[in-house]
Amino acid sequence: MAFTPDLPFPKSAGDPLKSKDWNDLVVETKRLDTAKVERAGDAITGSLSVSGTLAVGKTVATSTAKLDVAGTLALNDNNLMLRAGNDTFHGLGWFGTGKLFASTNPDGPVLWGNAGGALGTQAGGTQKVALSWNSSGNVAIGVASTELKVDIGDRIRLRQGASGSAGLWLYQTTPAADRAFIGMAGDTTVGLYGTTAGWSLTTDTNTGTVGVRSLPQTYAACYVNATSIGYGLEVIGATSYAVYAGGRIFDTSIRSIVRATNSTNTTSTGYVDVPNMQTSVTVPANIYRWFQIHVFINGVQTQGPANVAGYFRLLVDGSVYDVTRHEFNNNGWELRGVTLATMVYLGAGNHTISVQWATTAGTLYCCWYGDSRQIQIVEL
């Protein structure tokens, strides 16, 4: 409150100092010691330094900050800098025509309320929004708006850090865990990593070679590790070529051949095994495969009656897949070649392939002149 001394005031030399004057001065001094600064409808025109807490519109006792304002804070010159120590260059600011919560063509960062906001700059009269968000929490970087949670208008860079490699983890809600990683498998390898499967697809960034269920290999453009998997490669729905190769193809499919050249015979009128004409193939677990089986028996003839018939049959796992009958006249002096063939679909496991023969009379021979008999098995 204003203090008005009694007249005469100001006093001249020799004027008496009344007891009331003195008492009023002491009372005002004591009041100022308690009220500190109290000026209603006035302004402090000089500098004001506050070493403790400055509370505006509330008491210091209830304040939790160095500057605590109860109500609206208006910055009429559009500048607000939040600084650390003696820093005079960094912080958060609104410049030019920018205003807090509402702005047209801001030259500096701008924040909006619950409906969204943006941080941007103005250069040459053109507004450039670097970052914006809407009421749904969707964030747009370098683009005006987005329907996605994050939308970035140009390239981004993910750097290697303490975890060892640059990349991005993908998190699923139901297992409540990271399920996959897309990023660097090393300084020169990028790939897709499954938390259970490991590296599923990788590429060498120098050579462009690719690894499937493996890291890339230097000797193959595409290396597939099909261990414990039924098929290394399956192609369906092709309208032209399922697989087209401009060079040679090296195939490690199942192949088997048994061959003998010794002369042998039988007099059995019931089917018996042809010597050295039995073999087996093993199909890997969990798959089925087609096989082409060919049987060639050369130098076949008979001795005995003038008219003799010889029977030949091909068996897979004890089941007959092909059979033929050859008839011989003139006491067997008719040299023949016998062929049997089948195409069969085999499941996982071991399978036995055998050839049997029988004669109606006399003796049935094969490989009479040391020629060959053989079984050829090729996986298709």
Say how many Å lie between the first and final Cα of the chain, rounded. 107
Residue 104: half-sphere exposure toward Cβ, Cα within 13 Å: 0
Q: What pLDDT was estimated at residue 82?
A: 55
Nearest of 85, 94, 91 to residue 112 by alpha carbon: 94
Beta-carbon contacts of 96 under 8 Å, excluding residues fewer than 6 positions away, are 78, 106, 107, 108, 122
Measured CA to CA, the distance from residue 51 to residue 248 in angstroms comes to 85
Q: Give the number of other Cβ atoms within 10 Å of residue 292's Cβ.
A: 13
Please report, as a single letter, which amino acid is at residue 40.
A
Six-digit token string for 183? 């990023």
Q: What pLDDT was estimated at residue 360?
A: 95
Q: What pLDDT was estimated at residue 104?
A: 47
Q: What pLDDT was estimated at residue 325?
A: 96
Distance of CA 328 to the CA centre of its chain: 70
Do 360 and 308 touch, CB atoms closer than 8 A? yes
Report helix, strand or coil for 370: coil
Measured CA to CA, the distance from residue 312 to residue 377 in angstroms comes to 18
Nearest of 105, 107, 108, 129 to residue 118 by alpha carbon: 129
Q: What pLDDT was estimated at residue 105?
A: 46
Low-confidence ranges of the chain (pLDDT < 70): 1-3, 33-42, 75-129, 251-252, 332
Beta-carbon contacts of 238 under 8 Å, excluding residues fewer than 6 positions away, are none
Separation in Å, CA 50 to CA 37, 38, 267: 12, 15, 124
Measured CA to CA, the distance from residue 351 to residue 356 in angstroms comes to 16
Report helix, strand or coil for 25: helix
Q: What pLDDT was estimated at residue 121?
A: 59
Q: Which helix (H) or strand (E) holds 326?
A: strand 319-328
